[in-house]
Amino acid sequence: MQRSLQPRDLHAAARNRLALADHGFFWVGIERASTPFGTAVRGQGCVEYFIPAELKQPWPLVLLHGGGGQSTDYLGTPDGRPGWAYYFVRQGYAVYLLDRPGLGRAPNHEACLGAMSPPATYEFISEWFSNPAAHPERYAQARLHMQWPGSGVVGDPALDQFMAGTGPSSELGVSHLLAQRAGAELLDRIGPAILMTHSAGGPCGWMIADARPRLIKALIAVEPFGPAFAERGPSKLTWGLTGAPLTYDPPVASADELQRELRPAPRPGTVPCYVQAEPARRLPNLQGYPIVVVTAEASWMATDNHGIVDYLKQAGAAVEHLRLEDCGIHGNGHAMMLEKNSDDIARVLHEWVARQKLASA
């Protein structure tokens, strides 16, 4: 049964009032492009922000969504509960949500951003996101999934709500460069921040941090797309962690200069992943601040997220791997911020930030 969305019912049901000092939006990454139709806007990202009435935390959170999603992934769950954005505002963070160029409120048109991917399908999302337990042949951890707020199959109203927010993506390298430009401009405007990414937003986070390392106080990568050098259809992480150039030391002029070797799987239920061949180049702009990679117990990324962690450590980053099952949180899939226990996971992330003791100056 879906909850009532009538104003009086929503008002009566609110237990934890949201007190804001300000709320609004602005655009970043705006370019002008010549098209067959005339001069059009290109590369823009939409930023929505929430400033709590009581600003308790020294640094804002910038939330970057994944795949074909948008910032609504952080605004609410598909069964109508408040999302991570509101959880963190209530903890006293200023929160900025960036719709990556070409997604959500940042429209995509082939004349501006190039060819678009096919749309996401119910069948794919059900198999890998909302009902993987019905497909245990895909990966060992699928059978553990139990946190989606509905049946997770066609006909599930919660799945309808999630699907309605999905859209096509641009080519990987183009997407990463546009997100880097928009994210760097966002940080230039708001100052230092904690950057949180999800899934296909993960490489965009590495790109933004590479462009503005002094404006990153911490980086939380929730199941970042990988592992290093991954190839998923036309999407290839040719630069190790990204599909567009990263800064390496010693420098590389071409991604072909990055030599790789396969590292064995670290534990049962995981797979071998690539790291750099030794001597490994450093990633100097992904150093100087704490990084955490967060992995859910029942996600397909439980099999290979360790590869991202290994790659970052080898390149000199201060990174840790936070597995939710080690925190007593079980049964989550890849879209953990949308699932039944989403607040429990947000609390773990908030506690991780608190442990970093990030100075306010």
Give the C-alpha distances (Å, rounded to integers) separating 71 from 30, 103, 105, 143. 18, 9, 9, 29
4 catalytic? Reply is no
Contact 262, 273 (CB under 8 A): yes
Cα–Cα–Cα angle for 216, 49, 338, rounded to 5 degrees: 85
Compute the distance between CA of residue 346 and CA of residue 338 in angstroms, rounded to an integer. Answer: 11
Compute the distance between CA of residue 216 and CA of residue 187 in angstroms, rounded to an integer. Answer: 8
Active-site residue (options: 71, 117, 130, 199): 199
Residues 6+ apart with CB under 8 A from 12: none
Which amino acid, residue 214?
R
Q: What kind and span of H or E run contains 88? A: helix 84-90
Compute the distance between CA of residue 249 and CA of residue 200 in angstroms, rounded to an integer. Answer: 25
Cα–Cα–Cα angle for 207, 100, 289, rounded to 5 degrees: 35
Instruction: Give the DSSP letter of residue 119.
Output: P
For residue 131, how many other CB atoms are within 10 A of its CB? 21
The residue written with tokens 């534990």 in the block is: 267
The catalytic site residues sit at 199
